[in-house]
Amino acid sequence: MSYPWFALQVRSRYENIVTAHLSGMGYESFLPLYMCRRRWSDRFKEIECPLFPGYVFCRLNPLNRLPILLIPGVSLIVGMGKTPIPIDETEIGAIQAAVKSGLPSQAWPFVQIGQRVRIEHGPLCGLEGVLLDFSGRHRLVLSVTLLQRSIAVQVEDAWVTPIPLNPRAYSGLGNTPAVAL
């Protein structure tokens, strides 16, 4: 049986440490990274940075979360009140596909309104997201609704097909932000 994905809020710059602990304990974890350019006093350097700073994704049994909360650096499991809320499987799958594709990506402000598109060609074929034009290049914005965070992946114009606007079903969460446990 496969447990759902949850977001773990972690201390600043503890993402890699928490991911290593989770792997050592046998948990499936996911820390999406991207290459970013940082300036040192004497040079620029390309380093891997988390796409969702302060968060690590993990499959876990929500009824047995104490071992996770005891990992150094883990602050809480994101949810409502004392109830952890799982991340939508399709959202995690889309982020995993974007990272695996090797296409340039970066952290992006959360977007709810915009033209929804489906990728019909290329390494992200089948994914859906919001298409934006930024600095003359098209980007597909993929979101993790619970965290109110997004990433943007550069895509080719010919890969996208617009999706007709349909009213979304009521999710029960509304616009209320998630409360940390």
Model-level pTM?
Answer: 0.78
Residue 140 near residue 129 (C-beta atoms within 8 A): yes
Give the pLDDT of residue 153.
92
Q: What is the DSSP letter of 168?
A: P
pLDDT, average across residues 23-51: 93
pLDDT, average across residues 30-48: 91
What average pLDDT does the structure give for the chain? 87
The single-letter code of the amino acid at 155 is V
What kind and span of H or E run contains 47? strand 44-50
For the cut 70, the answer to whether the pLDDT of residue 171 exceeds it is no
